[in-house]
């Protein structure tokens, strides 16, 4: 089980400072969609150069022109690239094909997908590397979380690794760990805390204990 730090509301210098603080406790650093929109793929490039030992995920949430966008993110140094589960089958297959060519991985973000189990089964068959249940900011605001969704996809996903994102904090982490996702994605649960290092260290410890 790996820990991914999601960076959403930062610029490149702030991102570097944040990662430096918790580098020892995380496996993957995510350049969130807002950062990509504000800073471009340069953010991916600079973080990968600054922290070569960490995996970098480019949260592009691809919806179309998948092969091209995966190629561009790969060139920038991304190890993992995200595409939406709501995208066309052809787009997801195109993303997988390009990622394989580049030696990279594809994470399918199931945000907004209604028929979760059915779609998870379909995208699993396309050869994606991760399938991620994700409660976005707007639903977190009304008290939703991804835990039940994780259990749902765990029942049907045979090949891909599973991931969970959306509002995970130190006090909800033990429940998440019980469901055994392969990747736990934490944003504000670390970045919004006073002592980021201590929280990240504790989270890593809990994840290691499994």
Q: How far apart are CA 144 and CA 135, in angstroms?
A: 7
Model pLDDT for residues 21-48, shown as the tens digit of each residue: 999 999 999 999 999 999 999 999 999 9
Q: Do 77 and 50 touch, CB atoms closer than 8 A?
A: no
pTM, full prediction: 0.96
pLDDT at 137 over 80: no
Rounded to an integer, the average pLDDT of 156-161 is: 97
CB neighbours (10 Å) of residue 144?
A: 15
Q: How far apart are CA 35 and CA 12, in angstroms?
A: 8
Q: Tell me the CB-side half-sphere exposure of residue 129, using CA atoms within 13 A.
A: 18
Q: Tell me the CB-side half-sphere exposure of residue 98, using CA atoms within 13 A.
A: 24
Q: Do 149 and 168 touch, CB atoms closer than 8 A?
A: no
Q: How far apart are CA 180 and CA 176, in angstroms?
A: 7
């Amino acid at each position: 089980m790996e820990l991914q730090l999601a960076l959403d509301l930062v610029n490149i210098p702030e991102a570097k400072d944040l990662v430096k603080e918790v580098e020892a406790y995380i496996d993957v650093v995510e350049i969130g969609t807002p950062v990509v929109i504000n800073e471009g793929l340069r953010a991916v490039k600079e973080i990968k150069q600054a922290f070569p030992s960490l995996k970098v995920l480019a949260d592009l949430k691809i919806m179309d022109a998948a092969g091209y966008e995966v190629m561009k993110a790969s060139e920038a140094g991304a190890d993992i690239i995200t595409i939406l589960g709501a995208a066309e089958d052809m787009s997801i297959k195109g993303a997988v094909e390009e990622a394989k060519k580049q030696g990279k991985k594809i994470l399918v973000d199931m945000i907004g997908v209604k028929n979760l189990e059915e779609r998870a089964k379909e995208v699993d068959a396309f050869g994606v590397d991760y399938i991620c249940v994700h409660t976005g900011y707007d639903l977190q605001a009304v008290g939703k979380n991804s835990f039940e969704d994780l259990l749902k996809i765990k029942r049907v996903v045979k090949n891909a690794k599973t991931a969970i994102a959306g509002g995970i904090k130190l006090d909800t982490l033990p429940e998440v760990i019980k469901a055994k996702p392969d990747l736990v994605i934490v944003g504000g649960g670390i970045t919004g805390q006073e002592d980021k290092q201590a929280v990240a260290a504790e989270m890593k410890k809990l994840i290691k204990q499994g």
